[in-house]
A and B are shown apart, each in its own frame.
Chain A
Amino acid sequence: MTHVAIADQPEEEEHHPTSFIAKYIWSQDHKVIAIQYTIVAMFVGLVALVLSGFMRLQLGFPDTFSFINPNTYLQFMTMHGMIMVIYLLTALLLGGFGNYLIPLMVGTRDMVFPYLNMLSFWMYFLSVLVLLASFFVPGGPTGAGWTLYPPQAILQGTPGADWGIVFMIASLAIFIIAFTMGGLNYVTTILQARTHGMTLMRMPLTLWGIFTASLMGLLAFPALLVSAIMLGLDLLAGTSFFMPALVSLGEQLDHTGGSPLLFQHLFWFFGHPEVYIVALPAFGMVSDVLSTHARKNIFGYRMMVWAIVIIAGLSFIVWAHHMYVSGMNLNFGFFFATTTLIIAVPTALKVYNWVLTLWRGNIHLNTPMLFAIGFIFTFTHGGLSGLFLGNVIVDVPLADTYFVVAHFHMVMGVSTVMVLFAAIYHWYPLVTGRMLHEGMGKIHFWLTFLGTYAVFLPMHYLGFLGVPRRYFSMGDTAFMPESAQTLNASISVFAIIVMVIQVIFLVNLVWSLKNGPRAPRNPWGATSLEWQTPVMPPAHGNWGHALPRVHRWAYDYSVPGAAEDFIPQNVPQEGSGRPDDGGQEEVKA
C-alpha cells in the first residue's frame, strides 16, 4: 500500500489549481467536466430551439418569412432533431449529470479514468464545433432529416448533399468515440469505485438509470458508427452499401446491390435504444427528486431497478417498429409490435410506482417537484400515444403524420426536458452553493408545462386529419379543413411563447449565481451521498480526508424516531431504518 497516504495528504496545496486555464481547461475533476458538458449542451440546445422556432414561424404563417424556403426548412428540421436527440439530451444527461453525480453518489473521489473523461468532453466539444460548422459550408447543413435515410441523404437534390452531410457524418463519428470513452468510464466507475457499504441494491435510482443507459450506449452506438461510416463511404468512395441498382435524375448510378433498408435496420438498432439511453437516466433522476420532495421512500425500489433493466433489455428488440411502412416483411412487423407492447408493461409499472410514491407523501410543491410531477403527466400522455403507434394496423395510417411528431415530442422531448429542469432546480444548490429563485422557477414551470400541452396536444388532432410531417407548406389539400391551418397558427404562437419563457430560466440560472440566497447544507433534506460532502459545493477530491461509509439505502425519509425526518446513507444504524439492512458489518469495522 504505497500511497494510501494520498487520502491523508493535505489536499489544499496539491489539488487546487489557481489559474483559470488550469482550473477550467486542463482540469480532470469530474465536476468541472460535468459543468463544461452542461454549458456546451445547453448552448447547442438553444440553437436547436431557435431552429424549431423558425420552423414554427413558417408552418403557422406560410410565406411570411423570406429567409425560410423549402431547403432551409429541411435543414432546420434536420439540425433541430439531431442536436436535440444526440448533442443536447444524450450529452446533458450522461455527460453532464452522469459526470457530476456518479462519483458523488457512489462516494468516490473522481471517475476511475479521469484522463479519458476529459478527453471525452473535448471530443464532444469538437463534434459540436464540426456540427455547427456545417451551417457555414457551401450548401449549408444537410437537410436529409435527422434519420439521414439513404439514398436521398447523399444524392444530389437534397440540401447539403455536397458538404453538409460530410460534416454531419464526421461530427457523429467523433461524438460516438467521445461517448464510448465516457460510457465505459461511467460503467466502470459504478462497478468498481463504490464506497464501502454501497451495494448495487443500495444505489439511488439515478445511478441505476445512468448505469444502464451507459451500458446500452456501449452496445448501441457502434451500430450508428458503422452506418455513418458506410454512408460516408457510399458518398465519397463509391461503395454500394445502401445503394441498390439506382436510377437518379435519369442517369443510372454506379452503385449496385446494396439496400437502403439495411441503413434503416442499423440506424434504428441504435435509434430505439437511444430513446432509452435518454429516458432511463431521466427515469432515475425523477425517482430521486419525487422521493426527496415527497419525503417518502420510493415505492417498490427493487421493482424500479428491475423495470429499468428489463426496459433496457427489451429496447434492443423493438427497433423495427420505426419501419412498419418501410416495405419490410409484415410478419416481421407483428413480432416487433408484440415486443413494443410488452415494453409498455415495465414502463407503466414505473409510472404507477411514481404515483404511489406521491400517495400520502408529505409533498413539498417547490419547483423541482413541480417539474417532476409535470413529467409524470407528459410522460404518461406520450407513452399512451406510443401504444397507438406500436400497433402495425394503427401505425400504417398514422405514420409520418403530426401524430408521430406529437408522440415523440411528448415522450422523449418534453418529458425528458421536464426531468432536466427538475434536476437542474434540484441540484443547482449543490453545484453552485446558491438557491435558484423560487418565484421565477414557478412561473417557468407553469408556462412551460401548460405551453407544451398547447403546442403538442393539437398536433395529435392534426395527425388524425392526416397532416404529413416534414412538409414545408400544406397548400390547399382537399382532405385538410381550413381549421387545420388555424390550429397550426395557434400552435406556432404557443411555441414562440414557450420559447420566450425559457429566457426566465436562463436569467434565473445566471442571476442566482451571484444573487441567489446562499444554500444551506443539504437544502432539500436528501439522503443520498452527494449532499453529504464535507464542504458544499464539493471540493476537488470530493470527500476530504476519509471516504463516506454507506449504511443504508437512499430512501430513508420520514423515519419515525429519527433525529430529523430522514437518515442520510452514511449515518450508521441506530435501531431505526429498514429491517433488512443488518448491522453486522459495523462490528468488523
Chain B
Amino acid sequence: MAEKTTQYFVPDSSPWPLWASAGLFLLAMGIAGFIQQATGVSDSQWGGPVLIAGALWMIGVLFMWWRDATLESLQGLHSVQMDKSYRQGMIWFIFSEVMFFAAFFGALFYVRWLAVPWLGGAGDGAMTHELLWPDFQAMWPLTRTPDGTTTQYMGAWGLPAINTAILITSSVTLTIAHHALVAGERARAILFHGATIALGVIFIGLQAYEYVHAYRDLGLTLDAGIYGSLFFMLTGFHGVHVTIGTIFLIVLLLRMMKGHFTAENHFAYEAGAWYWHFVDVVWVFLFVVVYWL
C-alpha cells in the first residue's frame, strides 16, 4: 500500500492571507461607516470610499490567491488524496452554510408560531395583550403591526414563481453542462454553463426589481415590523449567496474557456455546481415557507 499522505503538497509561505485580512478590515469598516451615514447616525463621508477600496482590494487579493491555487493545480501538485480533501472541505463548508440558513428559518418559525400569537394573546401572553395592544390581532403574514402600521405582503404566484422556475432551470442547465464536461464536449459545456450564468443574473435582476416593488408599492420595508424584517433577511441572504454563486460560475466559465478542466480533473467545477445546487434548494424552501404558506 502506498504511503498515501506523502502525496500532500506543502506550499511555501504566502502573503495573501495577511493581505486578505487587511482587505476584510477595510471592507468591514467601509460597511459600518456606510450604514452609519446611510441611516443618519453619523455625517462623515468616508464610509462609501472605504467600502469601494476594500472591495477592490479583496478582489485583487482573491485573484492573486486563486491564481496561485490554480497554478498549483495545473502543475499537477494536487494529488488524488488532496482532491478528496477538497471535496470534504467543500462539504463541510456547505454543511456550515446549511446551519446558517437553518438558524434563519428557525427564527421565522419561532416568530410565526410563537412570538406573534403571544402578542395576540395566545398562551401566557393574555395580559400583555390586554394591557398593551388590545386591538392587535395575530396573523401571518403580519400586515398590521401592533402599533398600527400596515403593509401588504409579497404574494407567491407572480415574480417569485417565475424566479423559482428560473433557478430550477438553471440547476438543470448546470447539470447538462457538467455531463458535457465529463463527456469531453467542451463547446456544449460552455454553452450550457453560460446559460446557467445568464439565468442566475436574470434571477438577481428580478429579485432587485421585486425589492423595489416591495418598497415602492407594497410599503413592505426592512423596518416595517417583523414580517418585513424576516422577508428581507431571508431573501436577502439568499440573494447574496446567489450573487457569490454567480461570480463563482463566471470564474469557472473563464477557466473552462482556457481549458483548465479535463473530464477527470475538474474538482473546482464540481464545487461550484454543489454550491449552486445548495443555493437552489434553499430557494425552494424559501419559496414554500416565506412566499407561499
Interface majority SS on B: helix, strand, loop or mixed?
helix
- How far, in whole Å, are A180 and B79 apart by their CA atoms in the complex? 24
Q: Is the CB of B115 within 8 A of A258?
A: yes
Q: Is there a chain A Cβ closer than 8 Å to B4's Cβ?
A: yes
Q: Is the CB of A240 within 8 A of B229?
A: yes
Of B106, B119, B229, which is within 8 A of A245 by CB? B119
Q: Is there a chain B Cβ closer than 8 Å to A404's Cβ?
A: no
Of A2, A14, A192, which is within 8 A of B76 by CB? A2
Q: Is the CB of A110 within 8 A of B10?
A: yes
- Which A residues, 148 to 188, have Cβ-Cβ distances below 8 Å to chain B? 162, 166, 170, 174, 180, 183-185, 187-188
How would residues 65 to 108 of chain B score, 1 for a CB under 8 Å from any chain A CB and 0 otherwise? 10001000000110101101100110011011101101110110
Q: Which residue of A lies closest to B102 (CB)?
A: A222
Q: Is the CB of B226 within 8 A of A256?
A: yes
Q: Is there a chain B Cβ closer than 8 Å to A259's Cβ?
A: yes
Residue numbers in A under 8 Å from B97 (CB-CB): 222
Q: Which residue of B lies closest to A112 (CB)?
A: B85
Chain A CB within 10 Å — which of B3, B18, B96 has the most?
Answer: B96
Residue numbers in B under 8 Å from A116 (CB-CB): 89
Q: Is the CB of B6 within 8 A of A188?
A: no
How would residues 119 to 159 of chain B score, 1 for a CB under 8 Å from any chain A CB and 0 otherwise? 10001100000001100100000100111010000000000
The segment from A123-131, A277-285, A417-425 found at the interface with B is A123-131
Cβ of A178 to closest chain B Cβ, rounded Å: 9
Q: Is there a chain A Cβ closer than 8 Å to B12's Cβ?
A: yes
Residue numbers in B under 8 Å from A1 (CB-CB): 7, 79
The segment from A25-33, A558-566, A573-581 found at the interface with B is A25-33
Q: Is there a chain A Cβ closer than 8 Å to B217's Cβ?
A: no
Q: Is there a chain B Cβ closer than 8 Å to A534's Cβ?
A: no
Q: Is there a chain B Cβ closer than 8 Å to A470's Cβ?
A: no
Of B6, B104, B111, B147, which is within 8 A of A226 by CB? B104
Q: Is the CB of A230 within 8 A of B146?
A: no
Cβ of B178 to closest chain A Cβ, rounded Å: 23
- How far, in whole Å, are A189 and B103 apart by their CA atoms in the complex? 27
- Which A residues, 2 to 17, have Cβ-Cβ distances below 8 Å to chain B? 2-4, 6-7, 14-15, 17
Q: Is the CB of B110 within 8 A of A265?
A: yes
- Which B residues, 34 to 84, have Cβ-Cβ distances below 8 Å to chain A? 35-36, 39, 41, 65, 69, 76-77, 79, 81-82, 84
Cβ of B98 to closest chain A Cβ, rounded Å: 8
Chain B CB within 10 Å — which of A125, A222, A227, A329 has the most?
Answer: A222
Q: Is the CB of B13 within 8 A of A22?
A: yes
- How far, in whole Å, are A118 and B18 apart by their CA atoms in the complex? 8
The segment from A69-77, A93-101, A288-296, A540-548 found at the interface with B is A540-548
Cβ of A527 to closest chain B Cβ, rounded Å: 20
Residue numbers in A under 8 Å from B147 (CB-CB): 245, 252, 254, 256
Q: Is there a chain B Cβ closer than 8 Å to A62's Cβ?
A: no
Q: Is there a chain B Cβ closer than 8 Å to A225's Cβ?
A: yes
Of A236, A258, A585, which is within 8 A of B35 by CB? A236
Cβ of B148 to closest chain A Cβ, rounded Å: 9
Q: Is there a chain A Cβ closer than 8 Å to B166's Cβ?
A: no
Q: Is there a chain A Cβ closer than 8 Å to B267's Cβ?
A: no
Residue numbers in A under 8 Å from B230 (CB-CB): 241
Q: Is the CB of B28 within 8 A of A170?
A: yes
- How far, in whole Å, are A116 and B92 apart by their CA atoms in the complex? 14
Of A195, A238, A541, which is within 8 A of B10 by CB? A541
Chain A CB within 10 Å — which of B69, B103, B104, B114 has the most?
Answer: B103
Q: Which residue of B lies closest to A26 (CB)?
A: B13
Cβ of B205 to closest chain A Cβ, rounded Å: 23
Of A3, A257, A540, which is within 8 A of B119 by CB? A257
Q: Which residue of B lies closest to A11 (CB)?
A: B10
Q: Is there a chain B Cβ closer than 8 Å to A572's Cβ?
A: no
Given the interface pairs A25-B18, A230-B233, the reply to whether A256 lies near B107 with Cβ below 8 Å is no
| 16 interchain pairs, CB-CB under 8 A | A6-B10, A23-B13, A27-B13, A107-B5, A119-B17, A123-B21, A180-B93, A193-B81, A221-B96, A222-B100, A230-B107, A233-B222, A240-B226, A254-B223, A259-B115, A262-B110
**Contacts A114-B10, A241-B230 supplied; 7 other A-B pairs, CB < 8 Å:** A7-B6, A108-B5, A115-B69, A193-B85, A223-B99, A241-B111, A245-B119
Query: A residues bordering B, Cβ < 8 Å?
Result: 1-4, 6-7, 14-15, 17, 22-23, 25-28, 107-110, 112-116, 118-119, 121-123, 125-126, 129-130, 162, 166, 170, 174, 180, 183-185, 187-189, 191-196, 218-223, 225-227, 229-230, 233, 236-241, 244-245, 252, 254-259, 261-262, 265-266, 269, 327, 329, 540-541, 546-547, 549, 585, 588-589
